[in-house]
């Protein structure tokens, strides 16, 4: 089962949403994105938002242990997706770090300097589809506008669901979906920021080949496109949003 918890998004959890046993009023909604993914074989942090202190605070309130992160995947080198890296690496040992291809050499060196334990230092960047574990893969870095970006593909280990996780979809939606379908045959759920995507006919075609759910937030501009396709289960992301597939 894939469990996804949004630790960082522009919006904070709506006041009418009740999560038993948790105090949610102090969650911070800030511009940026971060998702905590739990799958039996691996715990992955996808992006970090821009403020690491806010990220850690939100994770604590939501009961997500950042010390259990096995891998950190950064979608692209915009500050609102990778600004929390220094704070995280000061506090936690993360054994695998997947940066997008073309990440600044200076940024990479700064990260390497924070990984003083040779047994956990594993920084990788790829242009092509990259296996992270049995059920998790990166699309590889895809050419985007104004910046290249990688997305994460996750297959549930208990169902037929496949999730495509996007930072901002700067590389569009068509190519990540094509790669994900080539890897795992189909995609049932997309989650993350979709920036300027507004191709309704393309979205309708995705529905015909298996897309069922769209959980979108952060930088997404054209929610109406998704609202116009009633076959899709549409939900707006916020800090504290969580789902299982």
| 26-29: Cβ within 8 A, 24+ apart | 26/57, 26/61, 27/57, 27/58, 27/61, 27/62, 27/239, 27/240, 28/54, 28/57, 28/58, 28/239, 29/238, 29/239
pLDDT of residue 115: 76
Give the tens place of pLDDT for each residue, 105-152: 888 888 888 876 654 446 777 678 999 999 999 999 999 999 999 999
Q: Are 36 and 5 in contact (CB under 8 A)?
A: yes
Buried/exposed code over 134-169 (b: 16+ C-beta within 10 A; e: otherwise): ebbbbbbbbebeebbbbbbbbbbeeeebbbbbbbbb
Instruction: Assign domain 3-244 one CATH number from 3.40.50.2000, 1.10.630.10, 3.60.15.10, 3.60.20.10.
Output: 3.60.15.10
Question: pLDDT truncated to tens, each residue of the chain (245 aa)?
Answer: 999 999 999 998 765 666 665 555 689 999 999 999 999 889 999 999 999 999 999 999 999 999 999 999 999 999 999 999 999 999 998 888 999 988 888 888 888 888 766 544 467 776 789 999 999 999 999 999 999 999 999 999 888 899 999 999 999 999 999 999 999 989 999 999 999 999 999 999 999 999 999 999 999 999 999 999 999 999 999 999 999 99
**In the prediction, which pLDDT does 48 show?**
98
pLDDT for 121: 45
This prediction has a pTM of 0.93
**Other C-beta atoms lying within 10 Å of the C-beta of residue 111:** 20
Q: Please tell me the predicted confidence (pLDDT) of residue 240.
A: 92
- Sign of dihedral through CA atoms 191, 72, 36, 220? negative
């Amino acid at each position: 089962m894939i469990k996804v918890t949004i630790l960082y998004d522009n919006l904070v959890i709506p006041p009418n949403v009740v999560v038993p046993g948790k105090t949610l009023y102090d969650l911070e909604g800030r511009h940026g994105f971060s998702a905590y993914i739990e799958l039996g074989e691996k715990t992955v942090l996808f992006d970090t938002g821009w403020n690491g202190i806010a990220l850690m605070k939100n994770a604590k309130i939501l009961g997500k242990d950042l010390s259990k992160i096995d891998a950190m995947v950064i979608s692209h080198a915009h500050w609102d997706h990778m600004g929390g890296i220094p704070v995280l690496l000061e506090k936690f040992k993360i054994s695998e770090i997947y940066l997008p291809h073309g990440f600044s050499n200076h940024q990479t060196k700064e990260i390497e300097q924070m990984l003083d334990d040779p047994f956990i230092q594993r920084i990788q960047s790829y242009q092509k589809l990259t296996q992270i574990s049995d059920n998790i893969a990166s699309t590889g870095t895809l050419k985007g506008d104004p910046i290249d970006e990688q997305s994460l593909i996750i297959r549930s280990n208990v169902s037929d669901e496949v999730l495509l996780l996007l930072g901002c979809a700067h590389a569009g939606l068509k190519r990540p979906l094509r790669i994900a379908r080539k890897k795992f045959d189909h995609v049932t759920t997309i989650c993350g920021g979709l920036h300027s995507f507004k191709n309704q006919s393309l979205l309708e075609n995705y529905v015909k080949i298996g897309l069922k759910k769209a959980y979108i937030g952060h930088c997404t501009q054209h929610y109406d496109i998704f609202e116009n396709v009633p076959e899709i289960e549409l939900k707006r992301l916020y800090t504290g949003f969580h789902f299982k597939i």
